[in-house]
Amino acid sequence: MRVTIWNAVILGLVQGLAEFLPISSSGHLSIISNLFHLSTAEEGHMLFDVLLHLGTLVSICVCYWKDLMQMLYELLSMAGGGTRQKRYPAARLFLLIIVSTAMLVLVMPVKDMLEKLYYNSVFIGVMLILCGFMLYVSDRMAPGKKTETNMSFLDAMLIGVAQCVAVIPGISRSGTTITAGLATGLRRDFAVKFSFLMSVPAVLAANILSLIDAFQEGVDWSSLPAYFIGMAVAMVTGVIAIQLIRHISENGRFGGFAYYCWVVGTLSIILTMIF
């Protein structure tokens, strides 16, 4: 099945918004693909899936380019024999992110089993409901004060384990890791930043591996224009979603997303049973 421009726009919109809003991008893409029979990576469009994720990766780089550049600057400064007395908070943040990302090795033994759940909309609906309860609880956590300067590497490992749990379709990666960050005592705005930045190495590594598989599988070159349109839509909507979450983290709470997850999860279960 060829990917149409309309198909690409819809999936790009869902990917860009749901990747960063705490509502599970994998869950929403699965529900929409399963219920409305839109083209997916498993139907010969793996490159499209890679480009959608690349679009959201660019979104993070756009919104956090100053942080990324500061990490690079401090790492190079340290490698060049920088002053020992000088503090390198951005370099420390980079190391914390690497520790968190390394925890994803825990997922490898069950990766194939989890991928099969992508086609079970009832299961995903249940996970979205559970995700809603998690967001509801996160709003009631006492605010922490930790940032990259005093966050421990154990905190990073625990947030990394939370990211492993979020591999389950229907569980929001951003929602889970932000909640875990709040539970370990991170300052609310920093928990959001850490959640988004820690996705960069994970998504980049996954994209490289998936890109190899995509070219081995074969590419539908006639759908390439639609692929890039979907990628552009994912990038733009991703920037909007990140800015929205940053604003909410500074001025409000995530409770509204809990109700949203409950509604969508329930509808997914009901519609799947009807159709």
Under 8 Å between Cβ of 157 and 103: yes
pLDDT digit string, tens, across residues 169-213: 899 999 999 999 999 999 999 999 999 999 999 888 878 877 777
Task: Determine how many CB atoms are found less than 10 A away from the CB of residue 87.
Answer: 10
Q: How far is CA 180 from the centre of its chain?
A: 14
Q: What is the pLDDT averaged over residues 106-129?
A: 87
Under 8 Å between Cβ of 53 and 12: no
pLDDT category of residue 39 using cuts at 50, 70 and 90: low
pLDDT category of residue 45 using cuts at 50, 70 and 90: low
The structure tokens listed for 229 are: 């349109």
Three-state DSSP class for residue 185:
coil
Query: What integer pLDDT is reported at residue 8 of this predicted model?
Result: 87
Instruction: Tell which phi-psi region holds residue 142, choosing left (phi > 0), alpha (psi between -120 and 50) or beta.
Output: beta
How many domains are there within the chain? 1
If we measure between CA atoms, which residue out of 197, 206, 199, 217 comes closest to residue 40? 217
Range of lowest pLDDT (29-43, 97-111, 132-146, 236-250): 29-43
Under 8 Å between Cβ of 40 and 49: yes
Query: What integer pLDDT is reported at residue 6 of this predicted model?
Result: 86
pLDDT digit string, tens, across residues 12-33: 998 899 889 999 988 888 888 7
What are the φ/ψ torsions at residue 171 (nearest 5 degrees)?
-100, 125
Q: Between 80 and 94, whose confidence is greater?
A: 94
Q: Between 66 and 143, whose confidence is greater?
A: 66
Query: What integer pLDDT is reported at residue 40 of this predicted model?
Result: 53
Give the predicted TM-score (pTM) of the model: 0.88
Taking the C-alpha atoms of residue 48 and residue 134, their distance in angstroms, rounded to an integer, is 31
Domain membership of residue 207 as a residue range: 5-274
Taking the C-alpha atoms of residue 151 and residue 172, their distance in angstroms, rounded to an integer, is 23
Which residues fall within 8 angstroms of residue 116, CB to CB, at 6 or more apart? Answer: none
Q: Between 208 and 95, whose confidence is greater?
A: 95
| Average pLDDT of every residue of the chain | 87
Taking the C-alpha atoms of residue 194 and residue 189, their distance in angstroms, rounded to an integer, is 9
pLDDT category of residue 242 using cuts at 50, 70 and 90: very high
Q: What is the pLDDT averaged over residues 84-113?
A: 87
The structure tokens listed for 107 are: 């997922």
